[in-house]
Structure 1
Amino acid sequence: MSKKRYFIQIAYDGSLYHGWQIQPNAITVQELLDGAMSIIFRQPIETLGCGRTDAGVHSTEFFAHFDVENIDEVKVLNSIASINAKLPYQIAAKRIVPVANDAHARFHATARAYKYYIHFEKDPFKLNRSWLVKDKLDINLMNKAASELLNYTDFSCFSKSNTQTFTNNCKIVQAVFEEQDGSIVFTIEADRFLRNMVRAIVGTLVRVGKKEIDIEDFKVIIDSKNRSNAGQSVPACGLYLVKVEYPYIN
């Protein structure tokens, strides 16, 4: 029996963690997941995730791939309960899927979607899970500006500087705000995202909602390709990775 590759799907509340990726002197989701699976499979397990969520960011659907040697596939697929028993309550393993040995959780993803939650009144049950905004926002203006994102591909103005990416081009297919129980939720879907992109987009659209800038200003910011022209990066607490799609996983 040789090495076999799998995808694991997880969900996590990122409030307590310094993001997904293993870092020195900080607790991360990847570190805890690798540790749990290394115990269960009795061999070193190193996952590679579909992306790098920042400190405090959440995910309802996250995939990572990993390799296991000399363990029957049925045992691997039936290990979810055992893995969950080793994980903290804020991280949940959902399923394991066998894939080809060259399958890649990051590079083979064909679409990703995020949601960003904003609320307007103090709510202890939304602490670390949504961003409290005290200003009134014009959601109609924000949606008109958000729709302009679908007309662009270069989003350098919303990207964290000095990132190791070969291109700042992305294809956004959905960007919309919806009202929900006195809050608003922003949903954005694209083939790929840049570092800090969603939080920078929301921060700039909130400026539109406050009427600090108009839609033409928003377009000028995108055309500038300059991060310093865009709005603030909004807090991580409201951001959720909610969907990652692959051609070989249902």
Structure 2
Amino acid sequence: MRLRIDLSYDGGAFHGWARQPGLRTVQGVLEDTLAMLLRLPAGDTPRVTVAGRTDTGVHALGQVCHVDIAQEILDSCIGHMNVNGVQALHRRLMHVLPDDIAIQSVSIAPEGFDARFSALDRTYVYRISDAGRPVDPRMRGFVLAVSDTLDCDLMNQAAAMTIGLHDFGSFATPNPGGTTIREVKRAHWDRIGVSALAPSTSDDAGWMVPTVESGLVCFTIVADAFAHNMVRSLVNACVQVGRGRKTLDWFNHKMDEPIREGSTGPIAACGLTLEHVEYPQDDQLAVRAAAIRAKRTLE
């Protein structure tokens, strides 16, 4: 049986998603916990496939993964609970996993579902506090603070150049045998106004509670997939333009000539969050997975 697991995590204390010997990773913690809950023999750890491998320090609000588990093994974790095996596993995961991982849901995956290859697109948001403003202490692990005042108009002109099918070789490194060609569907910068939540009373003189993102500069990017370090490198390049250290012509040249060099390296991981993964209708899952496995070209 293939299960879909939707989860969130604070990436600050993880060395990324992918399992690495001797390091704490999200995949490692999740797979080891599944093996323990399902009472699997040593060395028989279940393999979890994820929609998007996040780097060290990167967070996730809407990460998705899948795992294949035999029905009889899944049912073994029910114990004395009056629920089915899927519900029992969800409850036990929530109880056992550390506080920096939250399981949003566990469900039986539709036929043809592959967390990685069936995805239509992924949405990331990068959050910055600029102009030397202090970061809300509650958000300190999820926001990058910079001293310069960023020019959102210039950064949006740069971001607009990324939309469409391009080779992002200036901003990413391919996996072995892979490519840096990706299709960006949306990319934009927004300065969040000092928005507020209405008071719980009808008295207009009541205190208006500001939302936690008030005053931040946020970059939202949606693409069918992302190459290694692509989002953080694009953010860094846009920020250099927004600071006045690089020009729009420089950014355009980097888009036209996909060659990696020092000035287009990744910005700090702390401000980046994987917000959402989108999938097609159930009857299109296998078709999408087959299509995305093909190596991409610009033609």
TM-score, length-scaled by structure 2: 0.77
CA contact (8 A) 1:61 1:242 kept: yes
Distance, in Å, in 2 between the alignment partners of 1:146 and 1:221 is 12
- Relative distance call for 1:77 and 1:241 in structure 2 (3 A) is same
Alignment of 1:126 with 2:127, yes or no, is no
8 Å contact from structure 1 (residues 59, 241) kept in 2: yes
The aligned counterpart of 2:210 is none
Distance 2:146 2:18 in 1: 29
Give the aligned partner of residue 20 of structure 2: 23
* 3-state SS in 1 of match to 2:29: helix
Q: 2:171 matched to which residue of 1? A: 158
Amino acid in the other structure paired with 1:37: L
CA distance in 1, matches of 2:143, 2:160: 23
1:106 matched to 2:111? The reply is no
What's the % identity of the aligned pairs? 33
Could you tell me which runs of 5 or more consecutive residues in structure 2 were left unpaired when the two chains were aligned: 76-82, 193-213, 283-299
- Cα distance in 1, alignment partners of residues 87 and 68 from structure 2: 13
Q: How far does residue 37 in structure 1 lie from its aligned partner after superposition?
A: 1.9
Shift of 1:46: 2.1
The structure 1 residue matched to 2:90, chosen from 80, 85, 89, is: 80
Do structure 1's residue 61 and structure 2's residue 62 form an aligned pair? yes
Letter of the aligned partner of 1:55 in structure 2?
T
The separation in 2 between residues aligned to 1:125 and 1:96, in whole angstroms, is 29
Tell me the distance in 2 between the aligned counterparts of 1:177 and 1:108.
28
Q: Aligned residue for 1:235?
A: 268
Aligned to 1:192: 225
Q: Aligned residue for 1:47?
A: 48
SS, match of residue 79 in structure 1: helix
Q: What is the alpha-carbon root mean square deviation over aligned residues?
A: 2.0
Look at both structures and tell me which one has the larger radius of gyration over its CA atoms: 2
Q: Structure 1 unaligned segments of length 5 or more: list them.
A: none
Equivalent position amino acid for 2:6 in 1: Q
The one-letter code matched in structure 1 to 2:153 is N
Q: CA deviation at 1:167?
A: 2.2
Contact in 2 for aligned 1:77/1:95 (Cα 8 Å): no
Instruction: Give a deviation string over 1:106-160, Cα, whole Å, max 9, x none.
Output: 1111111100000132323332211111111111111111111114511111113
**Runs of 4+ in structure 1 over 4 Å off:** none
**Higher alpha-carbon deviation: 57-66 or 27-36:** 27-36
